[in-house]
Structure formats: C-alpha cells, structure tokens
Structure 1
Amino acid sequence: MKPVIALTKGRLEKQFMEFLQERGYDVRPLLNKGRKLQVETDDFFAVFAKGIDVATYVEHGIADIGIVGEDILLECQPDVFDLLPLPFGKCRFAIAGDPTAVNPMRKQRIATKYPNITTKYFRERGKSVDILKLEGSVELAPLLGLADDIVDIVETGSTLKENGLVVKEEMFTLSARCIANRNSLKLKKAILSPLLDSFRIEEAVI
C-alpha cells in the first residue's frame, strides 16, 4: 500500500517537484504525466487538482496528504490536519489600491476573492468595511470604481504595478502547507511516516 498525495496543479505542483527531487525522490513519472490526473511513482500515488479540491479530497480520505496553499486553509477551513509549512509557495496577503484615490466619505469597499480572511482581518482591527466577493481579476474593481481597495495575494507585485495599483498595507505572509486526513494519520502511520519525515527536513528553518 502506498500513500496517496493530492497536489495543487500549477505553480505549487512545479515547486513541489523540485522539493521532492532535492530529497532524492524519482519524480520522472510526475514530470512526464502529460494530461493524466493520477500518477503512480515508486513511493506514492499522486492526484492533481485545484487547491480547494485538494483540501476536499484530503478531508474525505480520498488522499492521505495534500500539498496546498495556506490561503485555502484560512479561507475555507477544511476539516484536515495542518501538518507543517513547506519552504516554497511563499507570498503575502496585502491591501492594495489606487495611490491617488481620495478616502471615501462612505464605508470603505473592499473587493476580494477571500471574503472570510478579509472579514476576520478588519474585524480584529475594529474596522467596518463592505466586502465584495469577486472570482476573477480583483485588480479591475478599483480601476472601474466598484471598490476602493482590494485584498489579494501578492507575489512579485507586477500585476498591481501594471494596473497602477500599489500595496497600501501588508497583512501577513503565507507558504505552501502539507495537510493530512485525520484518520490516515492514525491508520496509515507506518506508510506515511517516512514520507512526512522527509518533508520535515526544512521545518526548523522556515
């Protein structure tokens, strides 16, 4: 029996491949998977999904562990065990907007893909704002007057700059996380421990 790992497709997927290679794993089956969504390696089975779906597969025990962005855990709060941070996927949450905009007389409007994170952040600071949930490019909202500012994940800041926006307030930093199904940690400890121990090599320096 091999562990089942759910991987977030895209940027985290590529960074996790490099992470595995550094630890001596043969990732050739993963790199050469083409359009396959399930791949078997010598050490584990891998499934590829969007971030929120990774958390769902882990929560329901389809996957034993998952590699997911910390934003998914904070926003959606899936019922999984948050095992440890990983040394990649680094980014930050920030409030951004038009630096020339005048402070509104009305309640501040914030556009974001992350209403739960945003609500919690402002509530903890005693601020009342109106939150507009968007699914696409939130940078458009202040440009068209839908919102005063946005709350979003920022990596390089290039998208903000290209659209004339600036970071107004740094909120907090994020990283990729290794999550686990609660039952798998108990029932499959023998097969999961070697894999998880190899992931923990960098834990002390994060």
Structure 2
Amino acid sequence: MKERLTVAMPKGRIFDEAVELLRKADYQLPPEFEDTRKLIIELEHEPLRFILSKPMDVPTYVEHGVADIGIAGKDVMMEEERDVYELLDLQISACHLAVAGLPNTEMSKVAPKIASKYPNIASQYFREQGEQVEIIKLNGSIELAPMIGLADRIVDIVSTGQTLRENGLVEYATIKKVTSRLIANPVSYRLHEREITDMVARLRNVLNVHA
C-alpha cells in the first residue's frame, strides 16, 4: 500500500490550475474539490492529504515537514529561499516579476523608494543594478504606492498587465519569468521516494517533458 503524502497547495489561481493538472495525471480528485472551504482535505480514493494555505506559506510548510510536497510559484521560492527540493516546473500560472511605476517619471536621486511584497527580490534586483534604494514592504494593493507618493517604483507580479493599466502604471523592467513548481521536503523525499517520483513521472507525462 502506498504511503499517504501530504501536499501543501496555495489557494487561488495556482490551486485551480494544479487541480486540473493532477486530474490529467489520473489522480482521482472529487468534483467538489475546488469548492470546499476546508483547509485540510483527505482523499478517500487516493493516498493524498491536502493542506490549503496562502501561497507564501507553502514553502514554509514543506521546509518544516508538515507537508511532504507542495506547489509554489517561483516568485515565492525566490523570496523565501527555503530549504526544499525543487522537483519539476509545472508550467502553470505563468506570469513575471516586474518593476513598474507612473509613466514618464524618474526615480528620486536621493534614497528612491521601492514598494513590494517581495522585499528580498526587490533589494537584490536594484543592488545588481548598482542602485541604492529604500524598500517598503506592503502586503497588498501594491499599485497604490506610486499613485499616492509612497514609492517611486513597485516590484510586483504581472500577469496580463491589466491591473497596472487600470491604475495608470507602466512596466519599466522585467525581473524574472515565473511559473509554479513542485517542491519537496528533503527528508520526505528520502522516506517517500517511490510515491514522490511516481507523481513526478505522471506529471512529466502530462506536461510532455523529459528528465
């Protein structure tokens, strides 16, 4: 009998696309799976247990071993730098990290301010550009920052760019293209290698990618 794997999944767009991918890989997920309000879901017909959380928390759960594997955006992986194995690019929820701001504006010459919910990524990017900036961490509505004079630029995830356009902002630079990844706890990977490598193989087959 297969060991039950605990999977940390982010709510939202990644969750919906990951569920579709798992179904294509012949995992028997119930029809009401996407509509549940439960935070922990145990499947009857699959040796899987799901923990649903905020995207930023998935690598934390996997690193600390409360989840054996998880699905996390590359943006979260870069920001959090957790001790986990990155097993597979799932090629879902494609977007990119970008620098944006009001059109036709220069950054302040003295202590320019950058607002982001990705302070580590933002800090590293501007350091690599040779620019000294002040990072302001925000948790939501990042687009507000340049509009109200809180920051010269923002660093945020961009998908279609519609939110930026609707708020009168433009992109100034692309930092990194982002997709979601399958990750594993190093100890869990050793203990449940057969089950985890089976999942990777099934997902690879769906994605039509080779090892």
The answer as to 2:21 corresponding to 1:19 is: yes
The verdict on how the C-alpha distance between 1:103 and 1:4 changes in structure 2, with shifts beyond 3 A counting, is closer
Give the CA deviation at 1:87. Answer: 1.4
Q: Per-residue CA shift, 1:110-144, capped at 9, x if unaligned?
A: 11111100111111222222211111211111011
Residue identity opposite 1:38 in structure 2 = I
CA distance in 2: counterparts of 1:67 and 1:136, whole angstroms:
22
Residue identity opposite 2:165 in structure 1 = K
The verdict on how the C-alpha distance between 1:171 and 1:203 changes in structure 2, with shifts beyond 3 A counting, is farther
Q: Of 167, 173, 182, which residue of structure 2 is paired with 1:169? A: 173
Contact kept in structure 1, 2:72 and 2:183, CA below 8 Å: yes
1:16-165 superposed matches below 5 A: 16-28=18-30, 31=33, 34-41=36-43, 42-43=45-46, 44-165=48-169
Give the CA deviation at 1:33. Answer: 5.7
Give the CA deviation at 1:160. Answer: 0.6
Secondary structure, aligned partner of 1:4: strand
The verdict on how the C-alpha distance between 1:128 and 1:45 changes in structure 2, with shifts beyond 3 A counting, is same
Report which stretch shifted further, 157-166 or 35-44: 35-44
Contact kept in structure 1, 2:9 and 2:58, CA below 8 Å: yes
Q: Which consecutive segments of 4 or more residues in structure 1 shift more than 4 A?
A: none
CA distance in 2: counterparts of 1:103 and 1:64, whole angstroms:
44
Give the CA deviation at 1:17. Answer: 0.9
Q: Per-residue CA shift, 1:57-78, capped at 9, x if unaligned?
A: 2111111100111111111111
CA distance in 1: counterparts of 2:21 and 2:69, whole angstroms:
16
CA distance in 1: counterparts of 2:96 and 2:119, whole angstroms:
16
Which 5+ residue runs of structure 1 have no aligned equivalent?
Answer: none
The answer as to 2:14 corresponding to 1:9 is: no
Report which stretch shifted further, 126-135 or 102-111: 102-111
Q: What corresponds to 2:184 in structure 1?
A: 180
Q: What corresponds to 2:209 in structure 1?
A: 204
Contact kept in structure 2, 1:6 and 1:67, CA below 8 Å: yes
Give the CA deviation at 1:104. Answer: 2.7
Identity %: 42
CA distance in 2: counterparts of 1:28 and 1:53, whole angstroms:
25
Which 5+ residue runs of structure 2 have no aligned equivalent?
Answer: none
Q: Per-residue CA shift, 1:42-93, capped at 9, x if unaligned?
A: 2211111112222122111111100111111111111111112111011101
Q: Calculate the TM-score normalised by the size of structure 2.
A: 0.90
CA distance in 1: counterparts of 2:170 and 2:131, whole angstroms:
21
Aligned CA RMSD, in angstroms, stands at 1.7
